[in-house]
């Protein structure tokens, strides 16, 4: 047993040293996973603030068609809008009918067209805009804000004239206290919910994608370089050789995932606003089960990718095999985000890949449901063993070297 472990660790060390020898590999393995989330948490708010400030400062041209209200124009003037008055187009079915104005709206000759009509029952209005244009959407938002303010003024004036209190008349039922204080969930549980929607997907996709290059390099790459024959001549079994290569790929992949999660936690702790996201409150059993789930997932994915790479006759062929395989990770990762964990049935935790992703979501919410844990644990271990068996089968092929020549 000790000799086997020594062979396995020696092979793993050899593979890791060869793989990280290039500085570009170290950059992709260490720097990018570590900095991706901090950079995102710094750059994204700055970009959003810059875009919002630029849009707020924009002076938008709006066409006003139909009847006129001085009070409404006063509300418009507060929203940085330039108004051009026109008559209503003839033969409109209703005010929301784009009619003959379609071309100038689509060509952004004006950002929006505001239509207003007074009748015996009151006022009617509509806003003609282009939903695919940010400027047009912003113009529509400013118009609606101005109309809402004007409407409130008109309604309040009418109620006051009728000797009615606008506040008690329009808002007779009120929420007592604050929304936040009525939530029984802690800040840590709320953070766990937010993280459960993307942490499993990040771990799954990064584990699968970061294992591709080392899997290819340590199998098809060695076949092309002619070094696999030398490895097969070592005084160790092919299973020990496979275990060494698996340990190397798993170590490289785990390092990348750990650095990425570390960068995310750093960004959450020091860079993100506490009102947006916080540190999840997860118990020790949930953390241990979460680590177990990640390890089992890594065993399964790395073994499967090594087997596929070993089937390939060249690095190019291995890349064409493993590239599309990522889709089998992405689709379940996206699908599991919409599953309601409150009503999820136990059989979901027996589906390959889906079970681990659902387990991660539950554990980040600190939900340790014994039935679910047993189902995903037993099924995942079974799938991992099947993946390892398939990889071992590829390494035991008699034509392993001959098929590469």
- What tens digit of pLDDT does each residue of 117-146 get? 988 878 899 999 999 998 899 999 999 999
Angstrom distance (rounded) from CA 133 to CA 186: 40
Q: Find which of 105-114, 227-236, 324-333 is predicted with most confidence, using mean pLDDT.
A: 105-114
Tokens of 393: 């089968």
Q: Where are the domains of the chain?
A: 7-46+186-404, 55-172
- What tens digit of pLDDT does each residue of 17-36 get? 877 777 777 777 777 777 77
Q: Could you tell me how far CA 173 lies from the centroid of its own chain? A: 39
Give the pairing of strands 122-128 and 81-86: unpaired
> Which of 229, 230, 231 is closest to 242 using CA atoms?
231
Q: Could you tell me how far CA 366 lies from the centroid of its own chain? A: 21
- What tens digit of pLDDT does each residue of 209-220 get? 888 888 888 877
As its CATH architecture, domain 55-172 has 3-Layer(aba) Sandwich (3.40)
- What tens digit of pLDDT does each residue of 64-91 get? 999 998 888 888 888 888 899 999 888 8
- Model confidence band, residue 400 (pLDDT cutoffs 50, 70, 90): low
Helix (H, G, I), strand (E, B) or coil at 85: strand
Per-residue model confidence (pLDDT) at position 404: 45
Helix or strand (DSSP H, E) at 244: helix 238-266
Q: For tokens 């766990």, name the residue.
A: 192
- What tens digit of pLDDT does each residue of 151-187 get? 888 888 888 888 888 778 878 888 888 877 787 877 7
Per-residue model confidence (pLDDT) at position 147: 92
Q: What is the dihedral of CA 291, 293, 298, 301, to 10 degrees?
A: -170
Helix or strand (DSSP H, E) at 56: helix 32-57
Per-residue model confidence (pLDDT) at position 374: 92
Look at residue 399 and tell me whether its pLDDT is greater than 70.
Answer: no
- Model confidence band, residue 116 (pLDDT cutoffs 50, 70, 90): very high
Look at residue 264 and tell me whether its pLDDT is greater than 60.
Answer: yes
pTM: 0.71
Per-residue model confidence (pLDDT) at position 272: 62
The residues, ordered by sequence, that sit 6+ positions from 92 with a Cβ below 8 Å of its Cβ are 99
The residues, ordered by sequence, that sit 6+ positions from 267 with a Cβ below 8 Å of its Cβ are 37, 38, 40, 41
Helix (H, G, I), strand (E, B) or coil at 181: helix
Per-residue model confidence (pLDDT) at position 63: 92
Please, what is the average pLDDT of the chain?
81
Q: 230 or 62, which is more confident? A: 62
Look at residue 278 and tell me whether its pLDDT is greater than 70.
Answer: no
* Mean pLDDT, range 217-243, rounded to an integer: 74
* Mean pLDDT, range 194-206, rounded to an integer: 80
Give the pairing of strands 112-119 and 122-128: antiparallel
The residues, ordered by sequence, that sit 6+ positions from 270 with a Cβ below 8 Å of its Cβ are none
């Amino acid at each position: 047993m000790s000799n086997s472990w020594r062979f396995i660790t020696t092979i793993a060390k050899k593979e890791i040293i060869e793989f990280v020898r290039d500085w570009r590999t170290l950059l992709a393995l260490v720097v990018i996973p570590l900095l991706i989330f901090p950079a995102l948490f710094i750059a994204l708010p700055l970009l959003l603030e810059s875009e919002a400030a630029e849009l707020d400062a924009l002076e938008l041209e709006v066409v006003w068609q139909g009847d006129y209200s001085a009070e409404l124009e006063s509300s418009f003037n507060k929203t940085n809008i330039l108004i051009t008055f026109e008559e209503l187009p003839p033969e409109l079915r209703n005010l929301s009918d784009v009619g003959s104005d379609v071309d100038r709206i689509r060509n952004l000759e004006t950002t929006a067209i505001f239509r207003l009509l007074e009748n015996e029952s009151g006022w009617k209005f509509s806003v003609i805009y282009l939903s695919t244009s940010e400027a047009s959407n912003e113009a529509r938002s400013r118009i609606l804000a101005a109309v809402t303010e004007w409407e409130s003024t008109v309604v309040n004036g009418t109620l006051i004239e009728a000797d009615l209190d606008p506040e008690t008349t329009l808002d007779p039922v009120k929420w007592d206290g604050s929304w936040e204080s009525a939530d029984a969930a802690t800040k840590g549980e709320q953070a766990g919910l937010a993280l459960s929607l993307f942490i499993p997907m990040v771990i799954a996709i990064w584990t699968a994608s970061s294992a591709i290059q080392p899997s290819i390099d340590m199998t098809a790459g060695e076949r092309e370089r002619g070094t696999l024959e030398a490895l097969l001549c070592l005084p160790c079994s092919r299973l020990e050789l496979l275990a060494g290569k698996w340990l190397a790929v798993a170590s490289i992949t785990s390092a990348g995932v750990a650095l990425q999660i570390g960068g995310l936690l750093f960004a959450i702790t020091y860079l993100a606003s506490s009102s947006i996201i916080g540190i999840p409150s997860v118990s020790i059993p949930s953390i241990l089960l979460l680590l177990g789930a990640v390890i089992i997932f890594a065993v399964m994915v790395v073994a499967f990718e090594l087997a596929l790479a070993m089937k390939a006759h060249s690095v190019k062929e291995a890349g064409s095999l493993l590239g599309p395989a990522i889709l089998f990770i992405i689709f379940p990762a996206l699908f599991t985000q919409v599953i309601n964990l409150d009503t999820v049935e136990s059989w979901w935790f027996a589906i390959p890949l889906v079970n681990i992703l659902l387990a991660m979501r539950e554990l980040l919410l600190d939900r340790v449901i014994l039935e679910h844990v047993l189902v995903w644990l037993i099924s995942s271990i079974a799938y991992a063993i099947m993946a390892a068996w398939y990889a071992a089968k590829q390494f035991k092929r008699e034509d392993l070297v001959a098929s590469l020549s």
